[in-house]
Each structure stands twice: as structure tokens, then as C-alpha cells.
Amino acid sequence: MGKKLADIKKEIESKTEVFDDYFYSKISPSVSSFINLLKRDTQVFLFSGIIRDFFVKRTNEFRDIDLVIENELTEELLTGLNYQKNSFGGYKINIDNTIIDIWEVKNTWGFQKKSILPLSHSLPETTFFNFSSILYSLNKKEFIIGNDFLKFMKNKKIDIVFDINPLPELCIVNTIYYGQKLNYEVSNKLKEYIKANLQPMEKLLAVQEKHFKNIIYPAIYMKQIFQQWNILS
């Protein structure tokens, strides 16, 4: 039967201090100072790859940091920084060659489409992948854990949480990418999403160039994967 979800949740919560030390040990003093400034102004939540990689024991150097904040990001905090607007009204900031993507919670795609309160606790329900269904509060030093993340840790299977997404082509390519990176099985539910939302091959190639700056999966390779998943005959 394996572990119960409640036991997995307790294990995750027991690693709070270890994770906090791990996170700050991996970032530069300048990045740490910026995050501390944010924390004085608003609630700051870390999400996405850093947490996932920590729990699947793939602790590489951080290429980017994804943050969600509850209040608006003030111009004062951005003064003197190298930044630009990113997708859906967020900000992309470069500090010591670390890219920090920041979104105000009310502007995140999933929240706009689902609109659940309280804000921070609703976010795990609005992620596309189950391995992203967890946040870490940098202010309170605590995890906000979605039930889908607990199932991910239990079953070691990549699944879908919230299927409304503005970039289905990226979701499809990322399914291939994370399936290989994590070496985890892709759920039937996620395969059904791909089948229902399959995009023209040109879009699947173009999104790779934009996201990865390279085509890592040629058309013939993706067709083979889709055939293995019974998405293409």
C-alpha cells in the first residue's frame, strides 16, 4: 500500500528548516538581500522547480527562482535592478546572473481562472503539473502543500492538476521534458489532455526555441513519444 498521504505530509513539514537552510545556501548575498526586502513589504512564496527538485533529490544549482507575492511590487523595490516585464504581468529580474520571476498572486493565470480564497492557499490548486502543487512561505518558513503534490510523492507519477492553460503547446513539451528528467511515468489523465489539446508540430517546435532557446525534441522524436502514449496511431 505504501505510505499514507498524511504521513508524507508530516515528512515534508519536518524538512522545513533543512529546506530553508538549503535555499539560502544556494543563493548569493545580493539575491538574499532582495528577497529580505520583499519580505518586509509582502508575503513571499517560493514555488515550482526548486521545491520539486529538493524533494526528488535533484539539488542542482538554481538557474531561476519563481516567486509569488501577495501585495503589489513597488517601483521602489525595482530601482537600480536589471528587470523586464514577463508573461502575464509579472517581472523577470536578473541579480548576479540568477533570474527571479515574480508574479503578484492576483495576476497569476491559474488564480484569475479559478479565483479561490485565501490567495496563497489556493495556488497549489491552480498549477498545471502535480509536482508544482506546493509552495514555501519565505516569511513564515512553512510549506503549503496541495493534495496533488502528496500523491506525486506517493505514486512517483506526473499528473495534471488544473487543465486550463494559455500555452498547451508548452505543457505538452514540458510533459516530455519532465518525464525524462524525473524518469517518472506520465499519467493516463495527462496523456488524455495531450491528445485532446495536441498542437500542430510547428507550434511544438517554436515553443521549444522560445523556452529552451533550442529544439531539443525534433518532430520525428515527438511523434514517436506520442505513438508510445497512444496519442497518435
* SS3 call for 129: strand
Digit-coded pLDDT (tens) for 181-231: 999 999 999 999 999 999 999 999 999 999 999 999 999 999 999 999 999
Q: Where are the domains of the chain?
A: 5-155, 167-228
- Is the overall model pTM greater than 0.85, yes or no? yes
Q: Are 26 and 54 a contacting pair, CB within 8 Å?
A: no
Residue with cell 511515468: 185
Residue with cell 481562472: 113
CATH architecture of 5-155: 2-Layer Sandwich (3.30)
Digit-coded pLDDT (tens) for 23-48: 999 999 999 999 999 999 899 999 88
